[in-house]
Amino acid sequence: MSLLTIRNLSVTFATASGPFRAVDGVDMTIAPGEVVGIVGESGSGKSVAMLGLMGLLPDSATVTADVISFEGRDMLKMSNRERRKIIGKDIAMIFQEPIASLNPCFTAGYQIGEALKTHLGLDKKAARRRTIELLSQVGIPEPERRMTAYPHQLSGGMSQRVMIAMAIACEPKLLIADEPTTALDVTIQAQILDLLLDLQRERGMAMILITHDMGVIAETAERVVVQYAGQQVERQSVANLFETPRHPYTSALLAAMPERARGGRLPTIPGVVPGQGDRPTACLFNPRCPKADERCRTVVPPRQPAELGEALCHYPVGADPRPPEAIPPGFGPLSRQPLEGGARASTIAPEVPGDAR
């Protein structure tokens, strides 16, 4: 049985210029003990979807879904009280800014102790014992001393460890990590990722890792969801995603990484993620997609089968049903136009908002 099932989750914000759909029809199934990565650029709604699930969005947001069930229990029909029992205990979350996520007025030990007292009903002594245990589990040296430290006395890496200790305090079955290492230095990032994966394996905990960094995804996740403008455009196992990306967006995103490039210019994706005012019709990626044709602009793309990465695309990469001459020139080093007569401004791929209409 799956741990968490989400069907058709959408989040809409009321803004000054009308409603804005930040998350659009997200599906997700998480099995116990699985690591799923959600990757996307800023504005892709990757965090918003999870915050919506946790009920952490501001009042201007409306969250709708067909199904949200956790361990077979329907979370949509639950009372707020029951929901809160699950959230924080069975589902825990950690955030990008570890220092800002801790209350600066209380010591690290006190904040973990509070979580233990409210959710597990431990008494003071047991909570203290457990806190020390947790802190040493997340690799904090001298946990007795660090317990009495205030958040500002801890470094970013240490604060994130404290946040992780707090999140795993109640033995959650699912941990949602929202860009847990983005604010940290590279060497500390490696430590924190290792820690998260070790804890996940030891406890058989499922984990959703939200990040914008393809490298982090490659090193941690088993399955990957690629999100673009609020939609899941591709869902694949991590090995297949990096080997044979099926959605043109994923493939372009991978190609744009400097580490995959070999000298010269990087292949780029023109334009920006569509916002509220310039939401394209049909396929949301069509204004930026070099392979798009009339169909992409008029017909909403179907969800491809699992062999094709469940790509949300008419013409998945490597399985384009069109005859070769009908395909517009695509990405990649071969199709890149040579710079005529030295570089000029027009080859710099100006960002073109507004062309979407």
Partner 1 sequence: MTAIVTAKNLSQIYELKRGMFAKPLALKAVKETSFTVEQGETLAIVGESGCGKSTLARMLTMIEPPTEGELTIDGIRIAEASDSDLKRLRSIVQIVFQNPYGALNPRQKVGAILEEPLKINTSLSAAERRERAEKMLAEVGLRPEHYGRYPHMFSGGQRQRIAIARAIMLEPKILVLDEPVSALDVSIQAQILNLLAELQERLGLTYIFISHDLSVVRHVATRVMVMYLGRPVEIAPVEELYANPLHPYTRALLAATPAARPGRRGARQRLTGELPSPINPPTGCAFHPRCPYADERTKRERPELTQHGKTMVACFAVDEGRLPPPDAAVVETPEPRA
Partner 2 sequence: MSHIEAQEAEAGVGESLPDRAPQKSVRRQMLAEFWFYFSENKGAVIGLCVFALVVIIALAAPIIAPHSPTLQNRDALLIPPFWEDGGRLSYLLGTDAVGRDILSRLIFGARYSLFIGVIVVVIAVSLGIAVGLIAGYVGGWVDTVIMRVMDIILAFPSLLLALVLVAVLGPGLTNAMIAIALVLQPHFVRLTRASVMAEKQRDYVTAARVVGAGPIRLMVVTILPNCLGPLIVQATLSFSNAILDAAALGFLGMGAQPPTPEWGTMLAEAREFILRAWWVVTFPGVAILITVLAINLVGDGLRDALDPKMKRS
48 binds, among partner 2, partner 1, none (CB under 5 to 8 A by kind): partner 2
Closest separation between CB of residue 9 and partner 2, Å? 14
Query: How far is it, in rounded angstroms, from Cα 40 to Cα 127?
Result: 38
Exposure string of 223-233, with b = 16+ CB inside 10 Å and e = fewer, is bbbbbbbbbbb
Q: Which residues bind partner 2 (CB under 8 A)?
A: 13, 15-17, 20, 22, 42-43, 45, 47-48, 50-51, 57-58, 60-61, 95-97, 178-179, 182-183, 272-278, 351, 353-354, 357
Query: How far is it, in rounded angstroms, from Cα 155 to Cα 184?
Result: 10
SS3 for 242? helix
Q: Which stretch binds partner 1 (CB under 8 A): 26-34, 63-71, 90-98, 256-264?
A: 256-264
Sole binder of partner 1 in the list 203, 242, 293, 320 (CB under 8 A): 242
27 binds, among partner 2, partner 1, none (CB under 5 to 8 A by kind): none
278 binds, among partner 2, partner 1, none (CB under 5 to 8 A by kind): partner 2
Query: How far is it, in rounded angstroms, from Cα 62 to Cα 14?
Result: 8
**Which residue is associated with the tokens 């009908």?**
326
Sole binder of partner 1 in the list 54, 78, 149, 254 (CB under 8 A): 254
**Which residue is associated with the tokens 């020390």?**
132
SS3 for 59? coil
Closest separation between CB of residue 135 and partner 1, Å? 15
Give whichever of 33 and 270 is closer to partner 1, judged by the CB atom.
270
Closest separation between CB of residue 251 and partner 2, Å? 22
- Does 333 interact with partner 1 (rule: CB under 8 A)? yes
| Binding track, positions 45-84, relative to partner 1; x by CB under 8 A | ----------------------------------------
* CA-atom Rg of the chain in angstroms: 22
Number of neighbouring beta carbons within 10 Å of residue 74? 11
Continuous segment of H or E residues that includes residue 225: strand 223-228
Query: How far is it, in rounded angstroms, from Cα 336 to Cα 189?
Result: 35
- Does 201 interact with partner 1 (rule: CB under 8 A)? no
Backbone torsions φ then ψ of 322, nearest 5 degrees = -75, 150
Closest separation between CB of residue 265 and partner 1, Å? 5
Closest separation between CB of residue 334 and partner 2, Å? 30
Helix intervals (H) in 185-341? 186-203, 214-220, 238-243, 248-255, 294-298
Who's near 267: CB < 8 A, 6+ residues apart? 252, 255, 256, 261, 331, 332, 333, 336
Give whichever of 240 and 276 is closer to partner 2, judged by the CB atom.
276
Residues forming contacts to partner 1 in the complex (CB under 8 A) are 41-42, 155, 157-158, 185-191, 193-194, 197, 212-220, 238-239, 241-242, 252-262, 265-270, 272-273, 332-333, 342-343, 345, 347-351, 353
